[in-house]
């Protein structure tokens, strides 16, 4: 029995090592993909900004020229000449920047054509100035429209074509990015399989060891089985910590949210608000809580760690982590966990972003359509996000965080669950005071 257990433990350790190696590979590969996408996107943004600068400055230059041509005020004419010279410097800088930003011969040819049209336009401004000095305002205005505008139109046409190619390049980069991330799906699943394989081995060892214990009543083997169960739970929490650490400062979020879930469930049981919430069910809630964001393993770092507001397409990708999480739980744990726990773990991962008023995701469930475990997890997750520092915000003071939970009761949160959480505010504050989290009252 001891030899079998040792072999199982050795396999379990190897599975853990392989899973960690897989996770390191995934993070490195994901960062490589997102860096390439970020580089292409930033380059295209710079090109678009320079195109827009050239267009707007030329338009402003046309306006100033018209004012110059039709004005008899010498001070206005002098000011117009100075403004045009300043605009010319800006336009030339933007053209040079465009030339440095593009790589393809076709795009360089477009920039060369745009520059040629602009320089032709600017070289003939002297005629407008001379006509203006001679008081031939109407003549110079006609000259601007008939002689200079074709250059402007040619320049704008070149820039429009270049802008179209940049937009197409951006779309292609976004598609490549999505495809590259999708190609990592197999490796992501394989990594999770290796992590959970170690859990399966732990369960197998416990099951086999348990039968021997019953037969032999060996206290030593019972203690060993208990240790293996502890290893299993530790691996699950470690996996959750590893995933969470990609978009939070530490893995402490997993531990804190599990503690909030435990305390909320205890309060609900104490008040007998939900007869179905037994001690056994509560334990499943707590055990499932660390896996609530397991689906984030399929979300790229570029999106998880974005400091600013999401674009709509980025938010759609981010929201996908809930459905990914539910599917991962079923795919990986479906054959090894008890059905009751499997259902709770799936529901926590899948539905903890649903809202009481039906405006959440991924399915828009409302009210008691949302599983109780997910309603409890929603309050725990949001509260900890509020009081924690994230890449897109600073930590909120406790008073403000509790006020937000209260304000969202009945809209975002089940009012009974939110009420239970608010009623144990002192316990939560004492718990946080003893944690490593820096809290502002």
Residues 6+ apart with CB under 8 A from 438: 389, 395
Residue that terminates a domain, selected from 235, 261, 293: 235
Is position 277 within any domain? Answer: yes
**Could you tell me if 41 and 84 lie in one domain?**
yes
Mean pLDDT over 75-82 rounds to: 78
Mean pLDDT over 13-32 rounds to: 66
Helices and strands per DSSP (H, E), number in the chain: 17, 0
* Cα-based angle 180, 186, 191 (whole degrees, multiple of 5): 115
pLDDT at position 344 is 94
What is each CA distance from 439 to 29, 427, 435, 436, in whole angstroms? Answer: 35, 15, 9, 9
| pLDDT higher than threshold 70 for residue 4 | no
Our count of domains for the chain comes to 2
Is position 115 within any domain? Answer: yes
**Could you tell me if 295 and 228 lie in one domain?**
no
Q: Which of 376, 385, 101 is nearest to 266 (CA)?
A: 376
**Could you tell me if 300 and 424 lie in one domain?**
yes
Q: CA–CA separation, 230 vs 202, rounded Å?
A: 9
Q: With the CA atoms of 380, 435, 231 and 21 taken in that order, what torsion angle do they form, in degrees rounded to the nearest 10?
A: 90
**Could you tell me if 422 and 346 lie in one domain?**
yes
pLDDT digits (tens, 9 = 90+) for 36-72: 766 777 788 888 888 888 888 888 887 777 766 666 6
Instruction: Domain of residue 354: give its range.
Output: 245-433
The position carrying tokens 């759609």 is 316
Confidence of residue 214 (pLDDT cuts 50, 70, 90): very low
The dihedral through the CA atoms of 49, 54, 59, 60 has a sign that is: positive
Is position 441 within any domain? Answer: no
**Could you tell me if 213 and 267 lie in one domain?**
no
Contact 405, 413 (CB under 8 A): yes
**Could you tell me if 181 and 296 lie in one domain?**
no
Instruction: For the chain, give the mean pLDDT.
Output: 78
Residue that terminates a domain, selected from 235, 259, 294: 235
pLDDT digits (tens, 9 = 90+) for 176-204: 766 666 665 555 655 665 555 555 555 55
**Could you tell me if 272 and 172 lie in one domain?**
no
Residue 152 has which token pair? 């402007």
Residue that terminates a domain, selected from 201, 235, 269: 235
**Could you tell me if 413 and 304 lie in one domain?**
yes
**Could you tell me if 265 and 227 lie in one domain?**
no
Residue 37 has which token pair? 């996408």
Q: CA–CA separation, 154 vs 214, rounded Å?
A: 89
Residues 6+ apart with CB under 8 A from 408: 382, 418
Residue that wins the pLDDT comparison between 51 and 357: 357
Confidence of residue 286 (pLDDT cuts 50, 70, 90): very high
**Could you tell me if 269 and 205 lie in one domain?**
no
Confidence of residue 357 (pLDDT cuts 50, 70, 90): very high
């Amino acid at each position: 029995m001891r030899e079998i257990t040792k072999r199982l433990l050795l396999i379990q350790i190897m599975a853990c090592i392989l899973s960690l190696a897989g996770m390191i590979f995934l993070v490195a590969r994901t960062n490589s993909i997102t860096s390439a996408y970020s580089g292409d996107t930033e380059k295209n943004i710079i090109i678009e900004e320079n195109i827009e600068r050239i267009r707007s400055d030329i338009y402003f230059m046309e306006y100033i020229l018209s004012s110059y041509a039709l004005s008899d005020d010498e001070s206005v004419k002098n000011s117009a000449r100075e403004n045009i010279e300043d605009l010319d410097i800006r336009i030339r800088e933007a053209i040079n920047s465009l030339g440095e930003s593009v790589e393809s011969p076709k795009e360089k040819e477009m920039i060369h054509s745009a520059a040629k049209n602009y320089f032709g336009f600017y070289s003939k401004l002297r005629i407008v100035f001379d006509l203006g000095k001679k008081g031939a305002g109407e003549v110079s205005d006609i000259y601007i429209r008939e002689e200079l505008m074709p250059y402007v139109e040619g320049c704008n046409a070149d820039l429009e074509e270049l802008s179209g190619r940049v937009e197409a390049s951006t779309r292609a980069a976004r598609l490549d990015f999505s495809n590259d991330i999708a190609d990592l799906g197999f490796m992501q699943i394989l990594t999770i399989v290796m992590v959970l394989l170690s859990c399966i081995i732990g369960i197998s060892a416990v099951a086999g060891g348990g039968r021997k214990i019953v037969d032999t009543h060996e206290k030593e083997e019972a203690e060993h089985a208990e240790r293996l169960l502890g290893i299993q739970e530790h691996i699950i929490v470690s996996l959750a910590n590893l995933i969470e650490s990609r978009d939070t400062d530490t893995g402490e979020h997993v531990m804190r949210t599990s503690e909030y879930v435990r305390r909320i469930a205890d309060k609900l049981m104490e008040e007998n608000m939900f007869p179905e919430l037994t001690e056994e069910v509560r334990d499943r809630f707590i055990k499932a809580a660390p896996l609530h964001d397991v689906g984030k393993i399929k979300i790229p770092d570029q999106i998880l760690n974005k400091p600013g507001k999401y674009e709509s397409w980025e938010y759609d990708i981010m929201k996908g982590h809930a459905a990914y999480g539910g599917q991962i739980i079923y795919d990986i744990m479906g054959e090894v966990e008890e059905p009751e726990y499997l259902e709770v773990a799936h529901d926590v991962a899948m539905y903890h972003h649903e809202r009481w008023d039906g405006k959440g995701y991924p399915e828009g469930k409302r009210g008691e359509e949302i599983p109780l475990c997910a309603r409890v997890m929603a309050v725990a997750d949001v509260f900890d996000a509020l009081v924690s520092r994230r890449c897109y915000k600073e930590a909120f003071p406790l008073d403000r965080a509790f006020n937000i939970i209260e304000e969202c009761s009945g809209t975002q949160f089940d009012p009974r669950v939110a009420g239970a959480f608010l009623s144990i505010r002192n316990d939560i504050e004492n718990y946080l005071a003893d944690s490593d989290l820096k809290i502002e009252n």
